[in-house]
């Protein structure tokens, strides 16, 4: 992948990936750091990225795994996340509805949350979610179903608060 193709992918996919990672991680700063790290690794391994069937999925997975890896390090080391990968970002506020949705998602188990975000926010079909998460289609369907059941009352609750 040459510079032009990489930059084009970067400008097109970066905002989408940040929005999706924000929904998965619950923090926009964290999302931006992880997406930047994913693109840096993408450029580092640009031959691999260029060969990927779905480069945006490759980047999303890399960003997500980087986030998970950082969580594990934090838990193991009982210390703050390593912020050295990039400058600390200060993001503008998002809407109250946005915050409520992200908060509702944050109550779900990690696997369910990721499946819901990939399906509803990244607009991936179930089969693509299965490919990206490395899970059988049946497992993804179960996660979506359980996540949906858990999320519905929360969404109705936040919708009620928004409209009142």
Q: Which of 29, 68, 141, 150 binds another protein (CB under 8 A)?
A: 68
DSSP the chain: --HHHHHHHHHHHHHHHHHHHHHHHS-HHHHHHHHHHHHHHHHHTHHHHHH-SSHHHHHHHHHHHHHHHHHHHHHHHTS----TTS----PPP--HHHHHHHHHHHTS-HHHHHHHIIIIIS---HHHHHHHHT--HHHHHHHHHHHHHHHHHHHHHHHHHHH-
Minimal distance, residue 12 CB to another protein, in Å:
10
For residue 161, the minimal CB distance to another protein (Å) is: 13
Within positions 87 to 106, which residues make up the interface with another protein, using CB under 8 A? 92, 94, 97-98, 101-102, 105
| Residue nearer to another protein on the CB measure, 79 or 134 | 134
- Work out which of 96, 152, 157, 161 binds another protein, going by CB under 8 A: 152
Measured from the CB of residue 107, what is the shortest distance to another protein in angstroms? 14
Q: Which two tokens stand for residue 59?
A: 């980047």
* Interface size with another protein, residues (CB under 8 A): 66
At closest approach, how far in Å is the CB of 34 from another protein? 12
Angle between helices 3-25 and 28-44 in degrees, nearest 10 = 150
Report if residue 65 touches another protein, rule: CB under 8 A.
yes
Q: From CA 60, how far away is CA 143, in angstroms rounded?
A: 19
Residues that bind another protein (CB under 8 A): 3, 6-7, 10-11, 14-16, 18-20, 22-23, 28, 32, 36, 39-48, 52-53, 57-58, 61-62, 65-66, 68-69, 72, 85-86, 92, 94, 97-98, 101-102, 105, 116-117, 119-121, 123, 131-136, 138-139, 148, 151-152, 155-156, 159
């Amino acid at each position: 992948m040459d510079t032009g193709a990489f930059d084009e992918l970067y400008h097109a996919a970066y905002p989408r990936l940040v929005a999706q990672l924000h929904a998965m991680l619950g923090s926009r700063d964290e999302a931006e750091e992880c997406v930047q790290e994913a693109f840096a690794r993408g450029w580092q391994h640009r031959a691999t990225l260029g060969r990927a069937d779905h480069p945006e999925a490759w980047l999303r997975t890399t960003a997500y795994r980087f986030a998970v890896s950082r969580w594990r390090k934090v838990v193991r080391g009982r210390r703050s996340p390593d912020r050295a990968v990039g400058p600390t970002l200060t993001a503008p506020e998002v809407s109250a509805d946005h915050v409520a949705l992200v908060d509702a998602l944050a109550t779900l188990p990690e696997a369910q949350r990721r499946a819901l975000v990939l399906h509803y926010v990244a607009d991936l079909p179930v089969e693509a979610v299965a490919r990206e998460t490395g899970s059988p289609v049946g497992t993804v369907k179960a996660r979506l179903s359980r996540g949906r059941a858990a999320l519905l009352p929360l969404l109705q609750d936040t919708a009620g608060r928004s409209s009142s």
